[in-house]
Structure 1
Amino acid sequence: MSQEIEEQIAHLTRTVDDLSDVIARQEREIARLARRVGLLLEREAEREADGAGTIPLADQRPPHW
């Protein structure tokens, strides 16, 4: 019985370590994507500011209307 418990603990420890690695990778990826979104928002704001007097693309009607 003791060996079964030790095997289960070893398995659970491995699972926790694997999940911890996954979470760490996801955290880095989310941070990277958040930075990219921030840069894209800044770029879009600058583009819209440079085109003062024009209708922003997001507000334009599609050509088929």
Structure 2
Amino acid sequence: MTMSSETTLMERLEALEIRIAYQDEAIESLNQTITQQWALIDALQRQTAALGERLDDAASGVAPVDRPPPHY
């Protein structure tokens, strides 16, 4: 191997190492974002279920009224 080919290989190896470091950072950032989004989705699903139960309770306890609203 000549000196220039060794230098080229070392430069390529260094470029790959730098690339891997940036990819690891990007993957970690994406993982944190996904984890936060799943926590938010879970909270919203629980909140939606609770609101649905409250709506069902409210609808089952009140008979419908057949009169016009008060502003008529």
Higher relative contact order (CA 8 A, sep 6+): 1
Shift of 1:22: 0.3
Shift of 1:26: 0.4
Distance 1:54 1:48 in 2: 9
Structure 1 equivalent of residue 27 of structure 2: 16
1:32 to 35, 40, 43: 43
State the one-letter code of the partner of 1:54: P
**Any stretches of 5+ residues in structure 1 without a counterpart?**
56-65
Structure 2 equivalent of residue 48 of structure 1: 59
* 4+ aligned runs moved over 3 Å, structure 1: none
Distance 1:21 1:3 in 2: 27
- Percentage of identical aligned residues: 22
Distance 2:56 2:64 in 1: 13
Larger Rg: 2
**Any stretches of 5+ residues in structure 2 without a counterpart?**
1-11, 66-72
TM-score by length of 1: 0.80
TM-score by length of 2: 0.72
> How many residues in Structure 1 have an aligned counterpart in Structure 2?
54
RMSD: 0.9
